[in-house]
Structure formats: C-alpha cells, structure tokens
Chains A and B, each alone.
Chain A
Amino acid sequence: MLTFPIYLDNNATTPMDPRVLEAMMPYFTSKFGNAASRNHAFGWHAEEAVDYAREQIASLINCSPKEIIFTSGATESDNLAIKGVFEMYASKGNHIITATTEHKAVLDTCKHIEKIGGKVTYLPVNAEGLIDLKQLEEAITDKTILISIMYGNNEVGVIQPIKEISAIAKKHGVLFFTDATQAVGKIPVDVEADGIDLLAFSGHKMYGPKGIGALYVRRKNPRVKVTAQMDGGGHERGMRSGTLNVTGIVGLGKACELAKQEMAADAARLSAMRDRLEKELLTIEESYVNGSVEHRLPHVSNISFKYVEGEGLMMGVKDIAVSSGSACTSASLEPSYVLKALGLSDDLAHSSLRFGLSRFTTEEEVDYAIGHVKEAVAKLREMSPLWEMFKEGIDLNSIEWAEH
C-alpha cells in the first residue's frame, strides 16, 4: 500500500530507523543521567551508554573510540574542523584548499576564514563533478594547512577520489578533512584506508536522530588537534564543551551499528532501484543525468528535464517529495551553485530534480514515482513555449531574451 506523498528526499534527511528509536527511549526517562556526573549511578549509566556508542561509531569508520568528538551535527563538525585547524595551526600557515561544490557549511566557514585573514582556494570541478588532482597539488603552498574536500556530494551524489586526495595531502604534510555526511553509513568509509585526518558526519542522514553529529579527529600519525569553538566544561577532550546529548549519541551509535551490518545489502538494493528509476526517467526525451554516474553514491540520482522549470515540476509531482535545483522561491533567482559548478546552464539547472532513496524505499514507490514524473514532464512541456520552439527546431540561444 502506498501512502502519499512518497518520500524521496533522503539526502535532506532520512526517517529514523525504529530500532534506533527503541535504543534511545530509556535515555529520555529512566536513564536520564548526565554523562559527566561522576558521583552516582545515573551518571555512570549515561557515560557507559556514550562509551558504547563511541565504540559502535568507531567500528563503522575504523578509528579508535577516543577519536570521536560529539557535536550537534555536520554543520558544527565542519565549523569545528575548519576553524579549529585554522586557529590551532596558525603558526604553520593560513591557507586552506576546498572545492566549489562543497556544502554551504564548508563554503561559508571558508568565507569566514577569509574575513579573519586566511587564504582559501576554491577548486573548480569538471562536468562530472570531480576535482582535478593535478590542480589540487598545484594549489598547495608552504602556507597550506588544510585540504577540505567532501566525500560524497549532497546534490548529485558524486564521490571524490578520497584516497588520492589524502595521498597528496600526506606527501605535502597538509591535513585532510572530509565532510562525509552523505557517505558515512551509505558506503564503506575507513579513515585508515582512506587516509583521513578529520571527518564530519551526522546522525539524521543515516537513519539516526537529528541534532547529533560527530567529528573524527586523528590521534596518531599525525596527532591532530583543533581549537575548541565552544568553550565551557572541557568535554570531548577539551575540543567541544557542552553536556553530552546522551539520547542522540545512543541513537547515532545504534544507527552506525545498523549501518555496519546492513550497508552492503542496502547499497546493492538501492543502487539497483536507483538505476531502474534513472533508466526509466531517461526514456523521457531531453533528460540528462547530472554528475558522474561512475563515481556516485548508490542511492542518489539528479536529473534535468530540459524545457520544464524545476519549481513548476515540483508542483506537478506533488505525490512525491523530492528537491529541485531551482531556487526561485528565494529572492535571488539563482539556481543550484553545485549544478552550475558542473557547467550546467541556468535553464538546465532550473529543470533538475534530485531523487534520494533510503533503506525504507520500496519498488512500488519507485514505480509510482516513475509514472508520476513522466506524466508531469509531459504536461508541463505541453504548456512550455521553450519545448514548442525546440520541437520547431528553433535555437533558443538565437533568441534575445529580456533579462529580468
């Protein structure tokens, strides 16, 4: 049985797995202690639960439990990693390298770094959404302290060459931070094999709760430290003060444990389902996949349907919840900066939909989505003057459009 709308926006957030909720429940009520309370059983139970979650998380990304710093989510982790490294390594240099398709939590943090005297290089990406490793290496100077490149992109799902990036970072003695929010729990992420020094992720993208995230900070080869951005009781080895969100931490731990057990099977099922969705939607004339299809997260597909506008299309596909590269609800009429960085023209970026599948997505839901999108695109093209011109063989670039 289908219930509407069908949720296919799992890059924005995922539903929580009921098993995660179950693990969290006692920590709201009977086991409510403060993990920093050393003098009684309430505190000990909470601390035990936190320690156990640290192990569950460490086991998923192959690190030591001591290397996990709990935060409120990936945005905070991104801020802590970049600002924390910038402050801690100020005597070494002030240059950071990142990419134009990073999440706003990284880009805006880098903008902040520039305001306080840092230098930032924003690497472009190719049409597939991948950075150029040669360009990366050439951008490194003797002032470079950090390379910040995301693992998997939130809009198009493109996976960057993480091992190659970390090898370059290591060769030049530069730290490597990756925002792995979309990757952890979806594909194998191994900080040792991948050579990662700092890594950010959050609970709610992997069937865990919102309001909890973590920053992995390497302790050996090299020992990495970040300057705290939240001062107070000195929690999390002094790197992030604040009473631990015990319920959230327990939830994140459980979500990581489940991911470790089920990730491989989930990924196989989801990529087959995604490929079917994509293959069907690409039978629509003038539709294009955005970003690399070879280096991509298993559950994501971003498709542009030329000559229909994204927001109008969203309204036409109201039975499914997806997101669009069109941002014309905001005052700026700017479409997605990620799609533009891939070299898409504004009109193609405006015409895109992002599909994100989850552990809970069914074949039946995908079938429905396929038919629903096909119908909406056909209807809107019937109404689109651009489609009519295209069909008449008129080159849209030959028309002098009134910019507004």
Chain B
Amino acid sequence: MAYSDKVIDHYNNPRNVGTLDKAKNNVGTGLVGAPECGDVMRLQIEVDENQIITDAKFKTFGCGSAIASSSLATEWLKGKSVDEALSIDNMDIVEELALPPVKIHCSVLAEDAIKSAINDYRVKNGLPALEMPKSHH
C-alpha cells in the first residue's frame, strides 16, 4: 500500500524516540495496544511546574502509520499545557498524515496513548484520573 510522504518522513526520521524515567513524579507514561494486534505504543511526557509539557518520547511496535502517528504526537505535545494536550483528537492526526481508512486505528491508538500518559501523570500527582473514552476499535 502507498504511504503518504509525511508517514514515510516520520518513519525514516522518527522524532523523539526514547525513554523518560517513569519513576519520576513529573513523568507520565502511557502504554497502549497489544502485541497480538500488531500495535503497541508507549508515549511519555515530562511536565514542568507550570503544567507545560517540556519533553515527550515514544517507542512503538507497529506499522509505519503507527510509528508516524506516535512520532507526530510527541512533536505536537512538546510545549503544550497538559490541558491543551487533552484536546488532541485522532482525526487531527489522520488529517496531518493523510492516513487511509484502514490505518485510522493507528491514530486512535496515539490519542489513547496521550490520554493514558496524562492520566498516569495526574494520578501520580494526586489528581483524579480522567475518564478514558473506550477505544473506538
């Protein structure tokens, strides 16, 4: 199948691959997907005292679209406040990467990963977890 230029670019030059120290209180980690489905994303955010995301890292097991979706998500997260980050919608990712219908689940997974990382951060800092929309898969 043909990938868009943006997907290929993210695949060839993934942004922000790596690992943050998940033990730190200001780091939120989201791990979503399942190996048997062929997609696992781990997305991490580091948040400063002003609730601004100063760093974001990912590692993804999955197809090119899954890698590109998570790579793009880390780019978008950096510099945003935690609240702003919550407004990232999977359809924004679909649009930016020109994902075909069979790859929409990759963007959904990236959105889930963002929300899950934020929740991890919230719970660590004594805030109630936000209700996660059940994956639309």
Interface presence of B67 (CB below 8 A): yes
Interface presence of A383 (CB below 8 A): yes
List of B residues within 8 angstroms of A116 by Cβ:
none
List of B residues within 8 angstroms of A383 by Cβ:
14, 17, 59-61, 67
Q: A329-B1, A385-B61 are in contact. Are A404 and B137 (CB under 8 A)?
A: yes
List of B residues within 8 angstroms of A403 by Cβ:
34, 36-37
List of A residues within 8 angstroms of B135 by Cβ:
402, 404
Complex Cα–Cα for A308 and B25 (A):
30
Complex Cα–Cα for A386 and B42 (A):
9
List of A residues within 8 angstroms of B109 by Cβ:
404
B37–A312 touching, CB < 8 Å: no
Query: Digit string of B106-126 for contact with A (CB within 8 Å is 1, else 0)?
Result: 000100100000000000000
- Shortest CB distance A316–B (Å): 8
Interface presence of B105 (CB below 8 A): yes
A385–B38 touching, CB < 8 Å: no
Interface size class of B (residues with CB under 8 A): 20 to 34
B35–A386 touching, CB < 8 Å: yes
- Chain A CB count within 10 A is highest, among B33, B35, B64, B102, for B35
Interface presence of A1 (CB below 8 A): no
Interface presence of B40 (CB below 8 A): yes
Interface presence of A91 (CB below 8 A): no
- Chain B CB count within 10 A is highest, among A311, A345, A383, A399, for A383
B34–A326 touching, CB < 8 Å: no
List of A residues within 8 angstroms of B42 by Cβ:
385
A385–B63 touching, CB < 8 Å: no
Residue in contact with B11 in the complex, picked from A310, A315, A382, CB distance below 8 Å: A315
- Shortest CB distance B118–A (Å): 16
Q: A347-B35, A401-B34, A403-B34 are in contact. Are A309 and B102 (CB under 8 A)?
A: no
Residue in contact with B63 in the complex, picked from A328, A330, A335, A382, CB distance below 8 Å: A328
Q: A385-B59, A386-B61 are in contact. Are A335 and B38 (CB under 8 A)?
A: yes
Residue in contact with A388 in the complex, picked from B3, B19, B35, CB distance below 8 Å: B19
A315–B3 touching, CB < 8 Å: yes
Complex interface residues of chain B between 1 and 42 (CB less than 8 A to chain A): 1, 3, 8, 11, 14, 17, 19, 31-42
A315–B64 touching, CB < 8 Å: yes
B61–A328 touching, CB < 8 Å: no
A315–B34 touching, CB < 8 Å: no
Query: Digit string of A311-339 for contact with B (CB within 8 Å is 1, else 0)?
Result: 11001100000000010111101010000
Specify the chain A residue showing the minimal Cβ separation from B60: A383
Interface presence of A346 (CB below 8 A): yes
Interface presence of B66 (CB below 8 A): yes
A404–B35 touching, CB < 8 Å: no
Query: Digit string of A381-404 for contact with B (CB within 8 Å is 1, else 0)?
Result: 011111110000000100101111
Interface size class of A (residues with CB under 8 A): 20 to 34
Interface presence of A307 (CB below 8 A): yes
List of A residues within 8 angstroms of B59 by Cβ:
383-385, 388
Interface presence of A204 (CB below 8 A): no
Specify the chain A residue showing the minimal Cβ separation from B34: A401
A385–B40 touching, CB < 8 Å: yes
Interface presence of B62 (CB below 8 A): yes
List of B residues within 8 angstroms of A402 by Cβ:
32-34, 112, 135
List of B residues within 8 angstroms of A345 by Cβ:
36
A311–B67 touching, CB < 8 Å: no
Complex interface residues of chain A between 295 and 314 (CB less than 8 A to chain B): 307-312
B38–A311 touching, CB < 8 Å: yes
Residue in contact with B36 in the complex, picked from A311, A315, A347, A387, CB distance below 8 Å: A347
- Chain A CB count within 10 A is highest, among B60, B109, B137, for B60
B38–A326 touching, CB < 8 Å: yes
B105–A404 touching, CB < 8 Å: yes
List of B residues within 8 angstroms of A385 by Cβ:
31, 40-42, 59-61
Residue in contact with A311 in the complex, picked from B14, B17, B63, B105, CB distance below 8 Å: B63
- Chain B CB count within 10 A is highest, among A328, A347, A401, for A328
B64–A312 touching, CB < 8 Å: yes
Complex Cα–Cα for A260 and B87 (A):
66
Residues of A within 8 A of B (CB): 307-312, 315-316, 326, 328-331, 333, 335, 345-347, 350, 382-388, 396, 399, 401-404
- 21 example contacts (A-B, Cβ-Cβ < 8 A) are as follows A307-B61, A308-B61, A311-B62, A311-B64, A312-B63, A326-B38, A326-B63, A328-B37, A328-B38, A329-B1, A329-B63, A329-B102, A350-B35, A383-B67, A396-B35, A399-B31, A401-B34, A402-B135, A403-B36, A404-B39, A404-B137
Closest 8 CB pairs of A and B: A346-B36, A401-B34, A347-B35, A311-B63, A385-B42, A385-B59, A404-B137, A315-B64
